Homo-oligomer: A and B are copies of this chain.
Amino acid sequence: MRLSTLRDGTRDGTLAVVDRSGRRAARVPGVAATLQAALDDWQRAEPALRSVSDRLESGELAGEPFEPRSALAPLPRAYEWVDGSSYLNHVVLVRKARGAEPPATLESDPLVYQGGSGVLLGPREPLALPDPGYGLDFESELAVVLGDVPRGTAARDAVGLVRLVLLANDVTYRNLVPAELAKGFGFFVSKPATAFAPFAVTPDELGGAFRDGRVYLRLRTTLNDAVVGDVESGPEMHFSFADLVAHVAKTRAFTAGTILGSGTVSNRDPARGVSCLAELRARETIERGAPETPYLAPGDRVVIEAFDDSGRSVFGSIEQTVVIP
C-alpha cells in the first residue's frame, strides 16, 4: 500500500491512498483526515486503508488523478525526525577528507542526530540557498515511520514497529557544519528542512526488498540530468533500522509518526557514485589533494528516486531546484 499527503491549504494536508501506477489517488475522509491521524490509530486505520487500496487497484474506486506537484511530504510536520548515519563508508570518507578520525565506536555505537521536524518539504519544493557560501548539498537516504516505540525496545522487537518507508533528501549546508560541530552540541543551522518523496509505502509493498530491518533498493541521484549515484541501499547499511530503534529508545519512548532516517546511502565501490556531493569531494580530496566538484548553485536540479528489481519507482521522485529565496 502506498500513501500520500495532498496539498489542501491546511498544515497537515489530506491523506490519500495511491495506486500501483502512481497515477490515481483516493482520499479517505472516512478513515483518517491526515497521515498522523492514521498512525495514531493504525490498528483501526490500516485495514481500512488497505481496503481502499484494493478497491482503487481493482477499479471499483475511480479515485482522482495523482499529481506529484500537489503532494506535500507524507508527514508535512512530524513529532520527531531522527537521522542515523548507518553507512560507515560515508562517515569514514567524509571524516578522512577533513583529516579527522571516525569515532572509535564507529561499528558498535550508532551515530544519530535529532533533526528539525516541524517543517518538512514536499517532493517538488525548492532547495533554498540564502547564501551561496553555505555550501548546499543533497543527501539521498531512506527513512522509516514508526509506530509507538516504548523505552527500552530491543532490536528484535523493532522491525514490527516500522509502519511505512520513505525516501528523503536530508539537505545540509556543509560550510556551516564545522563551526557548529566545534561548539559541541551537534547540527542545527547547518540542517535546513528535509524533503520527502510523495509516497509513503508499507513494508509489505517492498516485498523481499524489506528484510533484516534494511531496505534493498537501487537509489539513483541525478544532478542536472547526470547520474551522480546509483547505489544499493541494502548490503552496506551497517546498523539496520531495528538497530537504530534500539539505540534511540535506550532512554526514552517515541510517539507514533516518528521518522527515523538511515543516513546518506553510500557504497564502497566508487563506480556506484555518491548520494551527496560531500562524498565526491572527499574522494577528490583524498586522491588529488583538494575538492573539485562545487556544492550546489542556484538553478541546479536534483532528482532522487529508488527502484525495485522490476524497475518501479517505489516512492515517486524527489525533484528539487536550487533557488535564492
Q: Which residues of A pack against B, CB within 8 Å? A: 11, 40, 77-80, 82, 85, 103, 105, 109, 111-119, 128, 130, 134, 151-152, 173, 176, 179, 181-193, 247-248, 250-255, 257-258, 325
**A189 and B255 in contact (CB under 8 A), knowing A78-B79, A184-B103?**
no
Asked if residues B117 and A79 are in contact (CB atoms below 8 Å), the reply is yes
CB neighbours (8 Å) of A118 from chain B are 79-80, 254-255, 257-258
CB neighbours (8 Å) of A130 from chain B are 151-152, 251
**A105 and B183 in contact (CB under 8 A), knowing A118-B254, A255-B118?**
yes
Asked if residues A119 and B183 are in contact (CB atoms below 8 Å), the reply is no
**A251 and B176 in contact (CB under 8 A), knowing A79-B79, A103-B182, A118-B79?**
yes
Closest Cβ of chain B to A141, distance in Å, is 15
Q: Which residue of B lies closest to A83 (CB)?
A: B185
Task: List 10 extra interface pairs beyond A117-B117, A119-B252, A191-B251, CB under 8 A.
Answer: A80-B117, A80-B118, A112-B188, A114-B115, A114-B188, A118-B254, A186-B186, A189-B247, A190-B251, A191-B252
- CA–CA, A151 and B325, complex, Å: 10
**A113 and B79 in contact (CB under 8 A), knowing A11-B255, A253-B193, A254-B119?**
no
Of the candidates B117, B182, B185, B252, the one whose C-beta lies within 8 Å of that of A112 is B185
CB neighbours (8 Å) of A191 from chain B are 251-252
Copies in the complex: 2
Closest Cβ of chain B to A129, distance in Å, is 10
CB neighbours (8 Å) of A152 from chain B are 130, 325
| Residue among A40, A114, A115, A193 with most chain B CB within 10 A | A114
Of the candidates B77, B85, B128, B185, the one whose C-beta lies within 8 Å of that of A113 is B185
Asked if residues A192 and B252 are in contact (CB atoms below 8 Å), the reply is yes
Of the candidates B183, B190, B192, B193, the one whose C-beta lies within 8 Å of that of A103 is B183
Closest Cβ of chain B to A136, distance in Å, is 10
- CA–CA, A113 and B187, complex, Å: 8
CB neighbours (8 Å) of A173 from chain B are 251
Q: Which residue of B lies closest to A105 (CB)?
A: B183
The 6 closest A-B pairs by CB, nearest first: A186-B186, A79-B118, A118-B255, A114-B114, A113-B185, A80-B118
Q: Which residue of B lies closest to A112 (CB)?
A: B188
CB neighbours (8 Å) of A119 from chain B are 252-255
Q: Which residue of B lies closest to A194 (CB)?
A: B252
Of the candidates B77, B111, B115, B189, the one whose C-beta lies within 8 Å of that of A251 is B189
CB neighbours (8 Å) of A257 from chain B are 118
